[in-house]
Each structure stands twice: as structure tokens, then as C-alpha cells.
Amino acid sequence: MVTVAGDVPFLPRDLVRRLHAARRRENAILACAGSDGRTHPVIALWPVSVRADLRDAVAERGIRRIDVFTGRYPLALEQWATEPVDPFFNVNTPEDLVEADRLVNAHAGL
């Protein structure tokens, strides 16, 4: 299963393929995206086999931070370039939306 954040408008087309390749290459259980030295744990590839553990972590143990949960598993990190646009740019504010519009217009066709 793949998860992504709802405020990330520039997700790369090769996201799932590269996360899957990273997971296999590193013999990891989970794989998540990274860019510009940051990890994006919400943008990840998860095996369905962790669903019971995830449910227990959230419902029974109150774990709310994804990286606390994912830290319990072997994790592959796949890095993406941030030029010409960081594919994991977040739109959280009106100013971010203006910047996203600018990036779309500046890099049409990417």
C-alpha cells in the first residue's frame, strides 16, 4: 500500500516504482521518500502485513507520529532531487499556494 500527503501537489510519477525498488534493494520492510535532506514518512510504501501492528500502535498505544512507528522496522529511504521543483513541496498556507501556482506556471510540462 502506498500513502501520500494530501497537501503535496507535485508527487513524482515514478514514486511507487522507486519506493518499491528501494525497499527491495535495501531488504527493508517499509520505504519512504526523502528530498533536500528531509525524510517524508507519510509518503511511503507499506506492506499490508503491518496493518495489525499499526492499528495497535495507533488505537491501543496512542502513537501518533509516523516516524515513531516506522522506526520499529527496517526502512529504506529513497531520495529525490529538488530541482527544478521539490516533488514533496507542501501547500499549507495561502502563501504556499501562491508559490505552487508560480512553480506550475514556471515549469509547465514537467
pLDDT tens per residue, the chain (110 residues)? 999 999 999 999 999 999 999 999 999 999 999 999 999 999 999 999 999 999 999 999 999 998 899 999 999 999 999 999 999 999 999 999 999 999 988 887 65
Residue 56 is given by DSSP the state I
- What pLDDT is recorded for position 106? 87
Q: Give me 15's grid cell.
A: 514514486
- What pLDDT is recorded for position 109? 64
Note the pTM of the prediction, 2 decimals.
Answer: 0.88
- What pLDDT is recorded for position 108? 73
Instruction: Output the CA–CA distances (angstroms, integers) from residue 4 to 8, 78, 108, in the order listed.
Output: 8, 14, 22
Q: What's the fold here for domain 2-106?
A: Spore Coat Polysaccharide Biosynthesis Protein SpsA; Chain A (3.90.550)
Adjacent-strand bridge partners of 2: 45
All residues at 6 or more sequence positions from 32 whose CB lies less than 8 Å from its CB, including other chains: 19, 39, 40, 41, 43, 44, 45, 70, 75, 76, 77, 78
